[in-house]
Amino acid sequence: QKEVEQNSGPLSVPEGAIASLNCTYSDRGSQSFFWYRQYSGKSPELIMSIYSNGDKEDGRFTAQLNKASQYVSLLIRDSQPSDSATYLCAVKRDTGRRALTFGSGTRLQVQP
């Protein structure tokens, strides 16, 4: 069974702090990794994609990938109350396959 695992949370951080969200995956054939944000009752919104080991930064967001450990994370710097949402990790095995496999998400609460 190819799984994507996330801590369901809630992860509670104070405004201005760094939020760290983690994800592990079981399929070693996974090549593409994505973080989505989902507000309650809304659709997933793509935040970042990462394909290579290391860090990728985009504004306040940094994605980190370690394929050897099968681990991907998302750091949110200077967290804002508007960042309060569920963060979904999704992985894709390439070589012609298109399906994203999602984790169950981590609920983030940023306290003002």
Partner 1 sequence: EPEVTQTPSHQVTQMGQEVILRCVPISNHLYFYWYRQILGQKVEFLVSFYNNEISEKSEIFDDQFSVERPDGSNFTLKIRSTKLEDSAMYFCASSGIRAGGGSYNEQFFGPGTRLTVL
- Under the binding rule (CB under 8 A), the answer on residue 43 touching partner 1 is yes
User: Which of the residues 55 through 74 are near partner 1 (CB under 8 A)?
Assistant: none
Query: What is d(CA 36, CA 18) in angstroms, rounded to the nearest whole number?
Result: 18
- Per 3-state DSSP, the chain is made up of helix, strand and coil in percentages (nearest 5) of 5, 55, 40
110 belongs to the binding site for partner 1 (CB under 8 A): no
How do 85-93 and 100-102 pair as beta strands? antiparallel
Piece of the chain touching partner 1 by CB under 8 A; list 22-30, 45-53, 61-69, 72-80: 45-53
What is the nearest approach in angstroms of partner 1 to the Cβ of residue 31? 9
Which C-beta is closer to partner 1: that of 28 or that of 42?
Answer: 42
Which positions ≥6 away from 91 have C-beta within 8 Å? 4, 25, 27, 30, 32, 33, 34, 72, 100, 101
Positions that interact with partner 1 (CB under 8 A): 32, 34, 36, 42-46, 49, 51, 88, 90, 92, 94, 96-105
